[in-house]
Structure 1
Amino acid sequence: MLPATATDTGKNTAATGLRAAVAILDKWGASGEQGQAILRVSHSTYARAKRKDGIKSISLDRDQLSRVSFVLNIHAALRMIFDNPENLYGFMRMPNDNAFFFGRSPLEVMGEGDIIAVYETFRRIDALRGGQW
């Protein structure tokens, strides 16, 4: 058996991150279209990542890896802010009157697919934790 290369390890790590991000988006109640737009992946890639026996290895570009990272970090921030599952997973669907969201939910804003919207959503949610890291 050949040893794993750095490329193989990176592809395995990317697949693990993608599967985790898709599972989080599913718990947030994101539609398939929203999830695909947030992560900037195809319908087939998103569907494979949802399956338990799905993606084991994948190449993601820098933008896609950033999107996965933002979803994982938003989830980590929400876990620090909320200790009940209703808020932890429901917050992303709740309308938000913050000037950035203008009454839309964070999931709606991120679902537009723009990397800036994903980043700004992360930044605002991360600020809610108030330096709890």
Structure 2
Amino acid sequence: MTTASQAQSFSKSQCVAGLRAALNILDRWRASCEQACRILRISRSTYTRARQQDSAWSVSLDADQMQRISFVLNIHAALRLVFDNPENVYGFASMANHNEFFNGRAPLEVMAQGDMISLYETFRRIDTLRGAQW
């Protein structure tokens, strides 16, 4: 039996699938390698290996990294609900945003600061656009 304080473990296949999905979204958002690495807290070598189509490749990620992947996937899901147009779904993250939290910065720029608070707050602000009701 596990307790709430114990770290959740993920299979290597879950880690690979989540990482590749998040990287595909970040690519569509036009994130640089450096930005993607900071957002997901991965190394450049992990980024490079995940981009290859090697089906035998596997990776173990910690709970923090998987939570970051989850935020990217959930931001993408919220954007797909808010916008019908793919240019907005994929372009929103790199557009300057003049709302209070962003202060003229693009959401991608804020997320790429690399800290969990920036990623969470970006998710929260974007989630609000759709009414924040799952």
Percent identity among equivalent residues? Answer: 63
Letter in 1 for 2:89: L
Letter in 2 for 1:42: S
1:27–1:54 Cα change, 3 Å:
farther
Q: Which runs of 4+ in 1 moved over 4 A?
A: none
What is the TM-score when the length of structure 2 is the normalising length?
0.88
For the residues of structure 2 that align with 1:101 and 1:92, how far apart are their CA atoms? 11
Letter in 1 for 2:40: L
Q: How many residues align?
A: 126
For the residues of structure 2 that align with 1:26 and 1:12, how far apart are their CA atoms? 21
Where do residues 96-111 of structure 1 align in structure 2 (5 Å cutoff)? 96-111=97-112
Q: Could you tell me whether the CA contact under 8 Å between 1:95 and 1:105 is conserved in 2? A: yes
Deviation per CA, 1:62-81, whole angstroms, max 9, x where unpaired?
11011000000000000101
Residue 127 of structure 1 and its aligned partner are, at CA, apart by 0.8
Residue 56 of structure 1 and its aligned partner are, at CA, apart by 3.9
Letter in 2 for 1:37: R
Greater shift in the superposed pair: 98-107 or 55-64: 55-64
Partner of 1:18: 19
Is 1:86 aligned with 2:125? no
Partner of 2:43: 42
Partner of 1:53: 54
Segments of structure 1 that go 5 or more residues without pairing to the other structure are 1-6
Residue 104 of structure 1 and its aligned partner are, at CA, apart by 0.1
For the residues of structure 2 that align with 1:27 and 1:131, how far apart are their CA atoms? 23
For the residues of structure 1 that align with 2:13 and 2:52, how far apart are their CA atoms? 16
